[in-house]
Structure 1
Amino acid sequence: MDIDFRLLPCLCVLYMITFLDRVNIGNAAVLGMREELGIISGTKYNAALMIFFIPYILFEIPSNILLKKLSPHVWLSFCTFGFGLVLILQGLVTTWKTLMVTRWFLGMFETGMLPGCVYLLGMWYKRSEAQKRYTFFANSTILAGAFGGLLASAIGKMDGIRGYRGWRWVFIIEGCVTCLIAVVNWYLVPDFPEDCKWLNKREMEYLRDKLGRETGKLEGKVKLGVREVAGVFRDWKIFVGAFMMFGQVVAAYGYAFFAPTIIHTYGYGEIKTQLYSIPPWAAAYAASMVIACLSDYFRNRYIFTILPILVGMSGFGILLNVDDPNHRNLQYGALFLLTCGCYSTAPVFLCWFGMNLGGHRRRIVGTAFQIGFGNIGGIVATYSFLEKDAPLYRNGYIIGLSFSCFSAAMSTLYLLGCWYENRKRDRVMAEGGATSEMTAQEEEELGDLAVTYRYAY
């Protein structure tokens, strides 16, 4: 419990503010940003959403390497202060071009947050106890979605103060809060178990025994040259794990970026739109925690990826087939299914794939690649809901539904891959393979590729 208390609140706050600062542009769009910057028609707004993901994707793996070298509390706090400062500047932009510049740097500073936090979480917990923690952490995005609408509805009332529109105050105030959180978390974010000063000798020995088989030895030095990083990609399952996240990210970001825009088409005003965006996020929070608890209780990950995906697909199906203005309540209800499905699945993907990677090296590179490649889906999502498709947005819903199906297929392929590897290793062990000659150092180098390692599914 002491580990939970020290680790989870800090990481949850960091990730919540990260996601909030990333998607609050959707709230700003409803509050008049597009009109003031002259990006009402065409795809300029979508380009502003898309450009965030280019640096965000490119720098995931280098960021995780820096996190290991500099320590989590240094790197995560630095990144947080950086994107907080950029967000303040985003509230001062006057043209589409300057908005594009700030969105680029926002993506560059935010690139280290999710893979860094996921990697750090994975080094503190066993696989059998991790899902609830991963989901509690990942649910920060749901809280950000809910609080984003609530904050935007309140901050939007500052419209005209000091000559600034309400959408500008959304960026400026949330950016200032982010910088403050970065300073506080410099002192609060724990480092890796082997580097923490608040663990006594007995507690360190307990963690070493508990985590050794799953995360590798608790040692500070890990060689991470080009050869070591490239070697991780010889395992085909690394790519499947990234593909299953990619499909889900398309659906999740499609909703996160365009929820206010979709709800606004139901005939609500600006402030009411922000408030109506909150309940689906609240439902998703409850659903994801139920999925996490059941997944840990039954010690199964695959089933609890497929079930939420089916729920999300049903939401897309309703939105595709119900376009009568007289059925707004049904359409709004479908948004609950969509959010519950999309945002219950992603934490299971992160935990299942990340905790199946053994050793520091494979976990550093593998988790960063899954998240980095997966966020290419964010680029697809930014062009899913175009102005020309309003108010029905059929293309957006078709894209979300299609990529949800793709994600389910990749999840099934990953299950089969893990099952096949476990069966193959069981046969090698039963036939008396040369595993007894493997040294502890060799086992550490191989991580989850060692014949003694078994994948969870």
Structure 2
Amino acid sequence: MMSKTSVEEKVRGSSTGSSTAVSITKERIDIDESAIVPKGTSDDNVSHDIDEKKLLRKIDFALIPWLSFLYLVAFLDRTSIGNAKLYNMEADLHISDTQYLICLSIFFIPYALLDVPSNIFLKRLRPRIWLSTIMLLWGVMMTVQGLVHNFGGLITGTNAPNSVYVLLFFFSAATVSGAFGGLLAAAISNMDGIGGKPAWAWIFILEGIASVLVGAASFYFVQDFPDTARFLTEPERIFVISRLQNDGQFSAGGEEAKWKFIWRSMIDWKTWVGMILYTGANGPLYGFSLFLPSIINQIGFKATPANLLTVPVYVLAGICTCTVGFLADRFGGRGYFAIGCYSLAFTGYLILILSKTAALSYFAVYLAACGIYPLIPNIIAWVSNNFEGTYKRSVALGWVIGFGNINGAATSNAYRARDAPRYVLGHGIVIMYIGLGFIAANVMLFFLRRENARRARGERDEIIIGVNDDKPGLDPRNGRYESVEEAIRDKGDEWSGYKYTL
């Protein structure tokens, strides 16, 4: 089971034979398994008879259902204010449209600013503790929102949950929550007047209580990292870590926290392009999810029918999200899928601006949803796949997602009541975001492809002492290391053998 690191050298000569280079790629490296075995484990603990497919099904069953449900509940809470608005919330609280938009905007500020520290805490405190705690606290504050009586209470209740809640999981569950949210809001509206509370208040209260219960249960159901997962045996843990490292995630066996990893994420060009890329999807997402009931309401449908008519929109968006995710995993090319989804979303919003009939506008809503919702998980996976190192990846994703979230404040202010029913300003701002995302996707693809070509030509090869240090043409700026493993651990995705995902 144990093997020494071997490096195959490939000598490339020019047509004149005047230059050579050594190429070291991860496909040609057998990593010493002592580097991936958790502390306290020995070679004797590793089973040679692990059924990989059975183990992957076991992991999927243990992780995906609950995490997806957790995200469903979280996103349901975030968008419930859009459903509640249709049941006289503004009139009961004596707030203007401008005050309502302020409440939506203030939602995104702490939500975005705390994304990076939250991802760091997630690693240090473990997912089971961190995610369960913030979910529980979120539910408490969500319930309190149903007890407010004025603008001050609403803005406080809107802001507080985000101070403790920064969570991103399996995004296909968000489309399910959109469909479920419309059905739930329509059902809860029948409680209008019970206990002296209006329908919109019961939407907040009941959904908040559900979040509290889910948060409490998450202390049991949420799992931590592969090396500590309670549902895996010791040989299975070793196998999973090894498989992750073979996929290029060399930090899967554990990584020491160093400020240099955090700093590298902040100066990496992929982080900055990724911020624009994600903003191009997330800005439209919040504009869509917060105002879809109002948009449908303004094209000719009353409160409960408007909420119910959001259901098939989200169902189709959920199907598209799962389909795009499956195809991108199966065939690759996440960047090309992103470009396609941006194009579909642009088409939908262009029709919304130009349409003068309810039927055509409702059709355009489907196109917009099927373009926007698959973008979010696809972009997050694409960005994540192109960062190696637990801390570097976490901080980079925090910057990317945080910047995207803060732009939700812009689209939440774009849909003003006086612009109804066509909302030309709101749709126009969303189209601007879609255009930025489309450009960023093309920029990301171009530079990743160029960098992969440079690595294939050997321009990024490190000097490995005793392996290729006597070869001419190597650039000392690429680093000098005692072994390939040292180069991998130090450089992460900057290592010459790391191939970026297109």
Q: Is the 8 A contact 1:222 1:360 kept in 2?
A: no
State the Cα distance separating 1:267 from its structure 2 match: 2.2
**Which of the two has greater helix per residue?**
1
Q: Is the 8 A contact 2:145 2:154 kept in 1?
A: yes
Tell me the equivalent position of 1:65: 120
Q: Is the 8 A contact 2:300 2:358 kept in 1?
A: no
SS in 2 for 1:268: coil
Q: Is the 8 A contact 1:242 1:373 kept in 2?
A: yes
Q: Is the 8 A contact 2:241 2:253 kept in 1?
A: no
2:108 corresponds to 1:53: yes
Distance in 2 between the 1:63 and 1:246 partners? 19
2:284 partner amino acid: A
For residue 287 of structure 2, the aligned residue among 254, 268, 277 is 254
Tell me the equivalent position of 1:266: 299
Q: Note the residue ranges of structure 2 that are not aligned, 5 or more in a row.
A: 1-56, 468-480
| Shift in alpha-carbon separation, 1:433–1:230, aligned structure 2, 3 A | closer
Tell me the equivalent position of 2:75: 19
1:7-45 Cα offsets, whole Å, 9 max, x none, are 11121111111111111000111111111111234x111
SS in 2 for 1:452: coil
| Shift in alpha-carbon separation, 1:300–1:268, aligned structure 2, 3 A | same
1:418-456 Cα offsets, whole Å, 9 max, x none, are 112111222226x96415544524422321111111101
Tell me the equivalent position of 2:21: none
Distance in 1 between the 2:410 and 2:486 partners? 42
Q: Note the residue ranges of structure 1 that are not aligned, 5 or more in a row.
A: 118-136
2:125 corresponds to 1:32: no
Distance in 2 between the 1:270 and 1:432 partners? 62
Identical residues among aligned pairs (%): 32
SS in 2 for 1:193: coil
Distance in 1 between the 2:318 and 2:271 partners? 28
Q: Considering only aligned residues, what root-mean-square deviation do their CA atoms show, in Å?
A: 1.5
Tell me the equivalent position of 1:123: none
For residue 215 of structure 1, the aligned residue among 249, 267, 275 is 249
Q: Is the 8 A contact 1:247 1:377 kept in 2?
A: no
2:123 corresponds to 1:89: no
For residue 163 of structure 1, the aligned residue among 196, 200, 216 is 196
1:39 partner amino acid: I
Tell me the equivalent position of 1:127: none
Tell me the equivalent position of 1:121: none
Distance in 2 between the 1:239 and 1:273 partners? 38
1:223 partner amino acid: A
Distance in 2 between the 1:399 and 1:52 partners? 19
Q: How does 1:28-427 map to 2 (within 5 A)?
A: 28-41=84-97, 43-111=98-166, 113-114=167-168, 117=169, 137-213=170-246, 214-225=248-259, 227-323=260-356, 327-427=357-457
1:153-203 Cα offsets, whole Å, 9 max, x none, are 000110000100000000000010111011111101111101113222321
For residue 9 of structure 1, the aligned residue among 65, 70, 77 is 65
Q: Is the 8 A contact 1:73 1:187 kept in 2?
A: yes
Distance in 1 between the 2:258 and 2:128 partners? 20
1:362-409 Cα offsets, whole Å, 9 max, x none, are 111111111111112211111110112111100111111121111010
SS in 2 for 1:194: coil
Distance in 1 between the 2:342 and 2:252 partners? 36
SS in 1 for 2:457: helix
1:228-276 Cα offsets, whole Å, 9 max, x none, are 4223212111110111001111111111000111111122221111101
Distance in 1 between the 2:408 and 2:397 partners? 17
Distance in 2 between the 1:357 and 1:245 partners? 15
State the Cα distance separating 1:218 from its structure 2 match: 3.1
Distance in 1 between the 2:125 and 2:238 partners? 24
Distance in 2 between the 1:310 and 1:444 partners? 39
Q: TM-score, normalised by structure 2?
A: 0.83
Q: Is the 8 A contact 1:32 1:167 kept in 2?
A: yes
SS in 2 for 1:428: coil
Distance in 2 between the 1:250 and 1:343 partners? 11
Runs of 4+ with deviation above 4 angstroms: none
1:91-135 Cα offsets, whole Å, 9 max, x none, are 001111111111111222222x11xx4xxxxxxxxxxxxxxxxxx
1:340-363 Cα offsets, whole Å, 9 max, x none, are 000111111011111221111211
Q: TM-score, normalised by structure 1?
A: 0.91
State the Cα distance separating 1:62 from its structure 2 match: 0.8
SS in 2 for 1:217: helix
Q: Is the 8 A contact 1:28 1:170 kept in 2?
A: yes
2:61 partner amino acid: F
Q: Is the 8 A contact 1:15 1:141 kept in 2?
A: yes
Distance in 1 between the 2:342 and 2:190 partners? 37
Distance in 1 between the 2:173 and 2:123 partners? 23
